[in-house]
Structure 1
Amino acid sequence: MSECNHDCGSCSANCESRKTDKSEFLEALNPASSVKKVIGIVSGKGGVGKSLVTSMLAVSMNRKGKKAAILDADITGPSIPKAFGIHNESGIGVSPDGNLMLPAKSLEGVDIMSANLLLDNDTDPVIWRGPVIAGAVKQFWSETLWQDIDFMFVDMPPGTGDVPLTVFQSLPVDGIIIVTSPQELVSMIVTKAVNMAKKMEIPIIGIVENMSYLECPDCGKRINVFGESHIDEVAADAGIKVLARLPIDPKIAQMVDAGQVEYLELPWLDEAAAAVEGL
């Protein structure tokens, strides 16, 4: 057989010349920006508190004296600005040279870029197709002035569609944290997220279970509202760590709705924050 030219289809799948360099797909950060670590916050399904965990982790790192930022990649369902009390009236600023967007800044100094800050009204829907949404995420990364960021948290939409794929391929993700809830479908849902990360060769930092339990205000007993949690078995099967179990607590919802997530006590996330800081 003549020497393969790598275009004929006869070349082995393991041929070195056919292996793709992941860095070829990375979207370049603009020269004026600096981001040291990028952490994706993912979930297999919606409604499990992914944005809440994203916000809490950014707040935790900010309290440790690290410069934290959030890139809200959940374009069609952005909720990060509301949690921090940032309204779209403030809008997105522009750098002095007019070339880059300036992220909004929370009261305690967390940098935030979100589609909701580009809308005339908070309730305006973002009716875009997948490729346009994916393009917006890349623009948030490459066309925003991210100044001296130690840890950037990317709040991704649920599932394994266009945007998670874009983030994994286009941003230099150092690791992901999977957020879930204690329901029967958790094993299948978490496994999907784990398998996607492994296929994309993205390290998994661990898993956070939200709505894990309700603590009785009278006796302190923990009540498993959604039934017995199987998160330990699921994590063991996937070979990942359980980093936190967040309770069902009306105070959390009240403070997030009031835009005061930065003033929550966050004792449950100590291990998760330590894992992120150790990257």
Structure 2
Amino acid sequence: MSVITPASVEQALQQVIDPTTGRDLTSLNAVTDIAINGSKVDVTLLLGYPANSVHSAIAVAVNEALNRIGVAQVGLDIGWTVYANPTANSQQALPEVKNIIAVASGKGGVGKSTTTANLALALAAEGARVAVLDADIYGPSQPQMLGAPERPPQVIKHNDQQFMVPVETHGIQVNSMGFMVTENTPMMWRGPMVSGALQQLLAQTYWQDVDYLLIDMPPGTGDIQITLAQKVPVTGAVIVTTPQDIALLDAKKGIEMFRKVNVPVLGVVENMAIHICSNCGHEEHIFGEGGGERIARDYDTELLGSLPLNLSIREDADNGKPSVATDPESAVSKIYRDVARKLSAKLWVQNLDSQAMPDIEITED
């Protein structure tokens, strides 16, 4: 039987691949402690993204890797923390908010708000603390999609300033202009008023301990998008599109806009990628095929995931309980959770060099 040494343990862990990033645990600096006591080895892992769905798979892989070098008993502690990533501009980060991600589209009707709601719930299901800001001032939809109570937010005083308390629903914090007007009230505001409302909603909401704040953007490349890029401490953007050529043209404009204002595009989510007949199972690409992959490749970003054209996605959102909340184990929910992990892990990996990661401590008792 070979002697278990710190070097052999480290070498074994180099063979364990994190299923989300595709990188080994050692290169990710995820191994924070190794303790050897005879034939028992205790390993502590710290990931930089919420990983509830892959926790078990990582544990199995670590056990198998260490068993192969003769470790009889493995003690494994897997945790994660979400780091505050650099902002894309010079704006000061919001208190209590680590990362701000804009969810945008070049045109309406591609499922951006539905994606925002389900992505927020997926991040929360993976173990993150999440908030949503509905920045579609003219057509706020998050209150209905997330089943939030239709009432104005409570106002509190903090440090001699007044703040709106976000509404909590499905375990996430939400604020929206939709809480302050009725569903029949049109917002007849010009651009500067809309931009001012966005900044006020963002800065005067009493966010609490948020890992990821998702901003549901209105479609297009106008005042709100420019305000967000220049005045909001945004971390990055996600582009939502369908495979349809017209939608892809507008999605390209959205990507170009974010690039011109130096906001990194973290990836693309493709909606309505394929329709599967509920009666016969026939598969058909109604809106085209492979559009999300092409635009991601052309703009050197990543296709985070493709969602099917599925009746339940629309019905669940209309009923105020999006797919991830309605059926967490469904195929659709698993896609959203995969997108959530990829997005959060990408933020971690992109900024890994700038993070103050702990050194590995190795002890032999």
TM over 0.5: yes
Deviation of 1:48 (Å): 0.6
> Could you report, residue by residue, the CA deviation over 1:205-224 in whole angstroms, capped at 9, with x for unpaired residues?
11011111111224433211
1:102 and 2:102 correspond: no
Residue 132 of structure 1 corresponds to: 193
**8 Å contact from structure 2 (residues 104, 237) kept in 1:** yes
Q: How does 1:152-191 map to 2 (within 5 A)?
A: 152-191=213-252
Q: What is the rounded CA distance, in whole Å, between the counterparts of 1:166 and 1:149 in structure 2?
A: 22
Q: What is the rounded CA distance, in whole Å, between the counterparts of 2:204 and 2:92 in structure 1?
A: 10
Residue 48 of structure 1 corresponds to: 110
Q: Are the structure 2 counterparts of residues 212 and 236 from structure 1 closer, same or farther at C-alpha, using a change threshold of 3 Å?
A: same
**8 Å contact from structure 1 (residues 183, 229) kept in 2:** no
Deviation of 1:125 (Å): 1.1
Which of 173, 192, 200 is the aligned partner of 2:253? 192
Q: Are the structure 2 counterparts of residues 250 and 212 from structure 1 closer, same or farther at C-alpha, using a change threshold of 3 Å?
A: same
Residue 273 of structure 1 corresponds to: 340
**8 Å contact from structure 1 (residues 87, 122) kept in 2:** no
1:238 and 2:299 correspond: yes
5+ residue gaps, structure 1, are: 1-20
SS at match of 1:211: coil
Residue identity matched to 1:100: F
Q: Percent identity?
A: 36
Q: What is the rounded CA distance, in whole Å, between the counterparts of 1:127 and 1:264 in structure 2?
A: 38
Q: Are the structure 2 counterparts of residues 250 and 187 from structure 1 closer, same or farther at C-alpha, using a change threshold of 3 Å?
A: closer
Residue identity matched to 2:304: L
Q: What is the rounded CA distance, in whole Å, between the counterparts of 1:125 and 1:211 in structure 2?
A: 29
Which moved further from structure 2: 143-152 or 208-217? 208-217
Which structure carries more relative contact order (alpha carbon 8 Å, separation 6+)? Answer: 1
Deviation of 1:28 (Å): 6.6
1:73 and 2:135 correspond: yes
Deviation of 1:64 (Å): 1.6
Deviation of 1:83 (Å): 0.6
Q: What is the rounded CA distance, in whole Å, between the counterparts of 1:22 and 1:70 in structure 2?
A: 21
Residue 111 of structure 1 corresponds to: 173
SS at match of 1:124: coil
1:85 and 2:147 correspond: yes
Deviation of 1:228 (Å): 3.1
Q: What is the rounded CA distance, in whole Å, between the counterparts of 2:280 and 2:146 in structure 1?
A: 32
SS at match of 2:162: coil
Paired residues in the alignment total 251
Q: CA RMSD in A?
A: 1.8
Q: What is the rounded CA distance, in whole Å, between the counterparts of 1:239 and 1:142 in structure 2?
A: 32
1:225 and 2:286 correspond: yes
> Could you report, residue by residue, the CA deviation over 1:162-219 in whole angstroms, capped at 9, with x for unpaired residues?
0011111111111111000121223421221111111111111110111111112244
TM-score (norm 1): 0.85
Which of 230, 249, 254 is the aligned partner of 2:315? 254
**8 Å contact from structure 2 (residues 240, 269) kept in 1:** yes
**8 Å contact from structure 2 (residues 269, 292) kept in 1:** no
Q: What is the rounded CA distance, in whole Å, between the counterparts of 2:101 and 2:342 in structure 1?
A: 11
5+ residue gaps, structure 2, are: 1-87, 348-365
SS at match of 1:99: strand
Deviation of 1:151 (Å): 0.5
Deviation of 1:227 (Å): 3.1
Q: What is the rounded CA distance, in whole Å, between the counterparts of 2:230 and 2:220 in structure 1?
A: 16
Q: How does 1:23-38 map to 2 (within 5 A)?
A: 23=90, 26=91, 29=94, 33-38=95-100
Deviation of 1:242 (Å): 0.8
Q: What is the rounded CA distance, in whole Å, between the counterparts of 2:204 and 2:291 in structure 1?
A: 42
Structure 1 stretches of 4+ with a deviation exceeding 4 A read none
**8 Å contact from structure 1 (residues 173, 202) kept in 2:** yes
Deviation of 1:230 (Å): 2.5
TM-score (norm 2): 0.66
Q: What is the rounded CA distance, in whole Å, between the counterparts of 2:100 and 2:93 in structure 1?
A: 14
Residue identity matched to 1:49: G
Q: What is the rounded CA distance, in whole Å, between the counterparts of 1:215 and 1:54 in structure 2?
A: 23
Larger Rg: 2
1:201 and 2:268 correspond: no
